[in-house]
Amino acid sequence: MKPNLSVNVAGMALRNPIMTASGTFGYGEEFSQYVNLNTLGGIVTKGLSLRPRAGNPMPRIVETPGGMLNAIGLQNVGIDAFIEKKLPFLRTVDTLCVANFFGDTVDEYAEMARRLNELPEVAALEMNISCPNVKQGGIVFGSDPACAAGVVAACRAATSKPLIVKLSPNVTDVVAMAKACADAGADALSLINTLIGMAIDINTRRPVLANVTGGLSGPAIKPVALRMVLQVARAVKLPIIGIGGIMSATDVIEFMLAGASAVQIGTASFITPGIAEQIVQDLQAWMVANKVQDINSLIGALEL
């Protein structure tokens, strides 16, 4: 008998817990020649905004020991072009689509939530709150519990779809952030976003990235991500999607034991474009070998 890999996250029935991470999988179509998209649990789009964004100047990606830094700057086609040019392909895929989105102000976030709420092809929304609030002196929404609660509440009022809030690790207390988002109406939490880092070219004595700093992702951040997932899972009653340096089925199982109901694969897809599908297969094989009949039995099963 085949083991059960299906999980439910905030009302979304995923065929397995393997999702793609925003900003590492384009809008889905870009990876369709490498991955059978219909084998995945969910596809998360590149972060969307009301207007198109060109992103930051080059260079904006650099490899680092155990990972990479990116300062892409949330480059995206904008919501109108997404609806016109990207959604038609996603309609052909039998996998749930989660739209990641962001804004510069609370009003922009709420307007994005309203626009995305009207799209039947979008199963859920994922808020990237690691963005500065231009109306409040540039404070990052996801670094202050009150600020985060305000923007989450505004989006909650604007959509009836499942609302996932993506938490930043660049905070003093991730549990306080998680509780604020939960109380404001989040249906699920995804964590972690990237850690802020930098790289220096010793020959030019200049930062490698034109933006100076960037977001660190990859295996180097997995221990931090696991710790934060465990902390948040024990503090709030919402489903959690684990993110951070997941490269294998073993990594997935670790995150689920820590309390994640699903995971997102990011940096690994840059190294091996077909890795997400492979991890699904490896996860099933591990379950058979270890006589685990239902993957849900792993969620939060860490023994302390």
pLDDT (0 to 100) of residue 62: 98
Q: Looking only at Cα atoms, what is the longest distance across the chain?
A: 60
Task: Give the active site residues.
Answer: 131
Number of domains in the chain: 1
CA separation, residue 102 to residues 73, 109, 140 (Å): 12, 6, 12
Q: What is the mean pLDDT of the chain?
A: 97
Helices marked H in 236-274 — which ranges?
A: 249-258, 268-271
Residue 234 pLDDT greater than 90, yes or no = yes
Residue 214 pLDDT greater than 90, yes or no = yes
**Residue in the structure block whose two tokens are 């540039």:** 138
Give me the percent of the chain exceeding a pLDDT of 90: 97
- pLDDT bin (cut points 50, 70, 90) of residue 137 is confident
DSSP strands (E only) in 129-280:
132-133, 139-140, 163-166, 188-191, 195-198, 200-201, 206-207, 213-217, 240-243, 262-265
**Residue in the structure block whose two tokens are 């996860």:** 283
Q: Which domain holds residue 189?
A: 7-55+73-196+216-298
What CATH number should be reported for the domain holding residue 88? Answer: 3.20.20.70
Quick check: is 304 in a domain?
no
Mean pLDDT (whole number) for 6-25: 98
- pLDDT bin (cut points 50, 70, 90) of residue 164 is very high
pLDDT (0 to 100) of residue 138: 83
Mean pLDDT (whole number) for 32-48: 98
Spatial separation of the C-alpha atoms in residues 120 and 138, rounded to whole Å = 34
Quick check: is 86 in a domain?
yes
CA distance from start to end of the chain: 31
Residue 135 pLDDT greater than 90, yes or no = no
Quick check: is 63 in a domain?
no
Quick check: is 68 in a domain?
no
Quick check: is 129 in a domain?
yes
Task: Considering only residues 150 and 136, tell me which one the structure prediction assigns the higher pLDDT.
Answer: 150
245: left (phi over 0), alpha (psi -120 to 50) or beta: left
- pLDDT bin (cut points 50, 70, 90) of residue 254 is very high
Task: Considering only residues 98 and 135, tell me which one the structure prediction assigns the higher pLDDT.
Answer: 98
- pLDDT bin (cut points 50, 70, 90) of residue 133 is confident
Spatial separation of the C-alpha atoms in residues 48 and 104, rounded to whole Å = 12
Quick check: is 126 in a domain?
yes
